[in-house]
């Protein structure tokens, strides 16, 4: 955002100073401080190989729709966690609270909690109470709302458990708001995620290895997790070094991308006059 401009200026000066001591042209790395230049840059497909947008949904969509240059990125971070009846109740609380509250505005923050119906009165109440204690507002379908209210403490703020709308299940809140929906089967959870999600990162909390593998095989997302917070989706945590972006593209780099993930191939053939025939 605009509040980071001074930091970018300082970093640019450091890089420029370092380049002056090398054979790399000083103009190889440039800082653009105004949006007025974006349209011109996006038209330079002859000179620019890749665009990695980091910013709002609107910015990323605008860039994807306005250039012929390949774009590595994602417009949405609509992540979901599926809480099953076999999940460890205390560990589930830790993972879900982390996924929602450690950095609500992050693209890998959970936005939808899917709850198996048989977990509504076992592990879900503890999760709901822990989230509310952290200031999270729950947007619940009728079944999960009834379960949350039944087990809510007397001190629970009245607006912390609300009725969900259909729009809530495909909304990236980027705040301490979480949509909650009850599902009956694993297939229903997978269908919901593939229909409403953004193919970024989704997780299942379960003790059933077969269900976990089915989930990870059938959910069409760049990151699919078993018993983990969605916040783990990060290039540094993956061991890729500094993350340059997260991609939901279906070709080449996908998921968190480090510098190595941007490399392409050149095939050098040193032959002895080989031919394809004879």
DSSP string, the chain: -GGGHHHHHHHHHHHHHHHTTSSS-GGGS-----GGGHHHHHT-TTT---B---S-HHHHHHHHHS-SS-B---S---EEEEE-TTS-HHHHHHHHHHHHHS-TTSTTSEEEEEEEGGGTTTTHHHHHHHHHHTTPEEEE-HHHHHHHHHH--TTS-GGGEEE--GGGGG----SSEEEEEEESSHHHHHHHHHHHS-SSEEEEE-S-HHHHHHHHHHS-SSEEEESS-GGG--HHHHT-SS--EEE--SSSS-EEE-SGGG---------SS--S--
R_g of the chain computed on alpha carbons: 23
Where do the domains of the chain lie, and which CATH numbers do they carry? 2-74 (no CATH), 79-235 (3.40.309.10)
Weakest-pLDDT range from 30-44, 133-147, 205-219: 30-44
For the chain, what is the mean pLDDT?
Answer: 91
pLDDT tens digits, one per residue of 228-271: 999 999 988 988 888 888 888 877 788 888 888 888 888 888 88
Given this model, what pLDDT does residue 173 score? Answer: 95
Whether 124 shows a pLDDT value over 80: the answer reads: yes
pLDDT tens digits, one per residue of 59-87: 888 888 999 998 887 767 899 999 999 99
pLDDT tens digits, one per residue of 146-193: 999 998 887 888 899 999 999 999 999 999 999 999 999 999 999 999
Q: Is the pTM of this model over 0.75?
A: yes
CB 233 within 8 A of CB 108: yes
Given this model, what pLDDT does residue 1 score? Answer: 58
């Amino acid at each position: 955002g605009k509040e980071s401009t001074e930091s970018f200026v300082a970093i640019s000066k450091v890089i420029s100073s370092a380049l002056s001591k090398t054979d790399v042209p000083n103009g190889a790395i440039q800082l653009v401080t105004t949006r007025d230049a974006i349209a011109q840059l996006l038209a330079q497909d002859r000179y620019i190989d890749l665009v990695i947008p980091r910013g709002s949904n609107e910015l990323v969509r605008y860039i994807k729709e306005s250039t012929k240059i390949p774009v590595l990125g994602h417009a949405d971070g609509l992540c979901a966690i599926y809480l099953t009846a076999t999940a460890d109740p205390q560990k589930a609380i830790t993972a879900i609270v982390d996924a929602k509250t450690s950095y609500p505005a992050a693209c890998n923050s959970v936005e939808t909690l899917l709850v198996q119906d048989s977990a509504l009165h076992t592990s879900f109440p503890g999760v709901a109470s822990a989230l509310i204690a952290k200031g999270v507002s729950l947007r619940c379908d009728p079944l999960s709302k009834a379960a949350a209210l039944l087990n809510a403490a007397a001190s629970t703020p009245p607006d912390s458990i609300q009725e969900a709308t259909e729009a809530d299940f495909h909304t990236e809140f980027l705040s301490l708001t979480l949509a909650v929906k009850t599902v009956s089967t694993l297939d229903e959870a997978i269908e919901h995620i593939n229909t409403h999600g953004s193919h970024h990162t989704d997780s299942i909390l379960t003790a059933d290895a077969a269900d976990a593998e089915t989930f990870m095989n059938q959910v069409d997302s760049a990151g699919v997790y078993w018993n983990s917070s969605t916040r783990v989706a990060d290039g540094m945590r993956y061991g890729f070094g500094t993350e340059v972006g997260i991609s939901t593209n279906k070709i080449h780099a996908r998921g968190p991308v480090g510098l190595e993930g941007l490399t392409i191939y050149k095939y050098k053939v040193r032959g002895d006059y080989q031919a394809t025939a004879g």
